[in-house]
Homo-oligomer: A and B are copies of this chain.
Amino acid sequence: MAPPGEGRDAALLPEFPRGPLDTYRARASFSWKELALFAEGEDMLRFKKTIYSALENDPLFARSPGAHLSLEKYRELNFLRCKRIFEYDFLSVGGMFENPLKVSTLTQCLGMYDWSLAAKYLLHTLVFGSAVFSSGSERHFAYIQKIFSMEIFGCFALTELSHGSNAKAIRTTAHYNPATEEFIIHSPDFEAAKFWIGNMGKTATHAVVFAQLYVPGGQCHGLHAFIIQIRDPKTLLPMPGVMVGDIGKKLGLNGLDNGFAVFHKVRVPRQSLLNRMGDITPEGTYVSPFKDARQRLGASLGSLSWGRVAIMGMAVANLKLAVSIAVRFSATRRQFGPTEDEEIPVLEYQTQQWRLLPYLAAAYALDHFSKSLFLDLVEFQRGLAAGDRSARQAELGREIHALASAGKSLASWTAQQGIQECREACGGHGYLAVNRLGVLRDDNDPNSTYEGDNNVLLQQTSNYLLGLLACRVQDGACFRSPLKSVDFLDSYPSILDQRFEVSSVADCLDSAVALAAYKWLVCYLLRETHEKLNQEKRSGSDDFEARNNCQLKDDAVALVDVIAPPDFVLGSPIGRADGELYKNLWGAVLQDSKVLERASWWPEFSVNKPVTGSLKSKL
């Protein structure tokens, strides 16, 4: 490798300006350029530089800290930026297949700039696009070209006002009418309104809508996806029977328009059904390659691992930004010192190191984990595409699901806590909006909620492990998994016999010691959980209760009644004393300004279309 700082490296990784950080940079035990090249590779560093430079040189992306954009202005700006990304066309569809990791890198580059932009772009191209591609069939592929030319704009509409985690209980219906060869899409009431749907608030013309499919005669075949036009692309006005609007301000990601939709007997052609998992004949007979609804749902929701792995990457990016800010601040902020006249950087204090350095380490460790899991998922997806129906492929799917569920929870929580610690470690200056730690906290926050609440996801991982343990106990099967993440559990009896015998603090610094302790802990928790679950089952609880044996809680509402101020002061629709959760929330959402109104910038979508790749020559 050429000496860093010379030739091509100098252009790719220029020197930092000289200044107060020089002292620490000179003291580092390694070359940051060599580590950057080792960790990312020259090709990826160049790709990132191309994206970052394009944004920095384009006035549309100029940062204006003092502008304090209104919700509507921010959404307009975010839409214009999203359109501009199409014109730059940083990564062609071919390029995605060639080096899938670049999809993840593009996401993180856009997100490090502004997560509202990344979310808007990716919900349209990747989430909406791949739902059409992977759940639809050839008759739907014409949509793909319209997606990348922005002829249409899409969203993915699963959750409803009253249902998120329990997706099976979604209440929107799709009744098939053979006389007209149409589905009637209907929301039985406002609690079944599609809700929280990114891009639906102001922009989307089309939605992938999940609904319960009913055939003539009244039989329900469970949840299916339909592609439904919700707005006229020429005017951005809603289609007949569709009440579509914006759910309003969120804690973060406000460049993205999250929306709701209520369908009133909306008639759509039979071909709207995304029919890879199940189809209906013109006469109204249901046909599916899957045996039952449960298996079909599993297959159609299988793509959830993508979302979870993507979120890991988003959380890692946020953690990187936060520790970068806090470490540089701490290396230059001086406070107190050994004498009255001499103050030292706060990074020199043990407390500050204890607060920040574990998160710096976590940023590196989680970065590696999320990238390698992303590549495992690519391998799995290639197996799917190639029609691999081997036991290993199925086992790989389960293992990735378990790893992505736990990994998403770990990464999003670590980032959230890390950002908060960085905010506090920067003191008052960390609380100033211009320093960005607030935006990072607000934009990272939903990572613990969407694509599965973290607590619910952790249970999916523990179910996976408990299942493996049950096989081992009952059938003597080995712990073995394609990625080897559970292989160590095979020796769990001997691991549990291990005792902590390290005698000195110095020995504890050996990473093998910490690793052994973690292994012991996993084995211990797994055994305890397994035994407790069996005990509950033996004592007669059914499965549901066994996982949820209740205690202590009947007083909670009355205890809250004592400390809660009147509703007017509490000021929260979901916390009102009457408990009419959805009525209150729905009412508040509809009272917001311009909820149902078309965005003022609608011609920017309807008339001024982007020419994909038109700015590529400028890169």
Contacts and interface: CB of A to CB of B under 8 A. Distances in A.
Interface of A: 16-22, 24-25, 27-30, 32, 35-36, 39, 48, 52, 55-56, 63, 65-68, 70-71, 109, 112-113, 159, 162-166, 168-169, 195-196, 247-252, 320-321, 323-329, 331-338, 340, 343, 347-351, 353, 355-357, 360, 363-364, 367, 416, 420, 423-424, 426-438, 441-442, 445-446, 448-450, 453-455, 459, 542, 544-545, 548-566, 568-581, 585, 588-589, 591-593, 595
Which 7 pairs across A and B sit closest by C-beta, in order of nearness? A325-B575, A28-B558, A66-B592, A21-B579, A251-B438, A324-B564, A24-B557
Nearest to A590: B66
A550 B70 contact: no
B565 A112 contact: yes
B559 A360 contact: yes
Could you say how many copies of this chain the assembly holds? 2
A360 B164 CA distance: 25
A554 B24 contact: yes
A164 to B, nearest CB: 6
A472 B235 CA distance: 81
Contact of A574 (B17, B196, B325, B571): B325
Given A32-B561, A558-B32, A562-B32, A569 B113 contact: yes
A147 to B, nearest CB: 25
A432 to B, nearest CB: 6
A65 B593 CA distance: 9
Contact of A449 (B164, B428, B553, B577): B428
A485 B572 CA distance: 38
A448 B426 CA distance: 11
A196 B24 contact: no
Given A548-B348, A577-B16, A554 B325 contact: no
Contacts of A163: 335
A554 B331 CA distance: 10
B248 A580 contact: no
Nearest to A336: B166
A52 B566 contact: yes
B556 A327 contact: yes
B166 A560 contact: no
27 contacts: A17-B578, A19-B578, A24-B557, A25-B557, A25-B558, A27-B554, A29-B555, A32-B558, A32-B562, A35-B559, A68-B593, A109-B569, A113-B571, A164-B428, A248-B433, A250-B438, A251-B441, A252-B431, A324-B560, A325-B572, A327-B556, A338-B544, A347-B556, A360-B560, A416-B420, A434-B573, A434-B585
Nearest to A361: B559
B249 A433 contact: yes
A331 B55 CA distance: 47
Contact of A66 (B36, B248, B250, B454): B248
Contact of A549 (B250, B350, B434, B578): B350
Contact of A70 (B68, B168, B416, B553): B68
B348 A550 contact: yes
A214 to B, nearest CB: 16
Contacts of A336: 165-166, 169
Given A553-B348, A560-B327, A563-B324, A338 B542 contact: yes
Nearest to A329: B574
B579 A20 contact: yes
Contacts of A356: 556
Given A17-B578, A563-B363, A568-B52, A248 B343 contact: no
Contacts of A350: 548-551
A249 B554 contact: no
A553 B347 CA distance: 8
A56 B568 contact: yes
Contacts of A367: 563
Task: Kindly name the residue among A325, A430, A434, A581 whose own CB sees the greatest number of chain B CB atoms within 10 A.
Answer: A434
Contacts of A165: 335-336, 427
Contacts of A426: 574
A419 to B, nearest CB: 11
A479 to B, nearest CB: 26
A55 B569 contact: yes
A145 to B, nearest CB: 31
A390 B340 CA distance: 32
A595 B544 CA distance: 59
Contacts of A577: 16-17, 21, 328
Contacts of A348: 548, 550, 553
B575 A329 contact: yes
A558 B29 CA distance: 9
A424 B438 contact: no
A100 B552 CA distance: 36
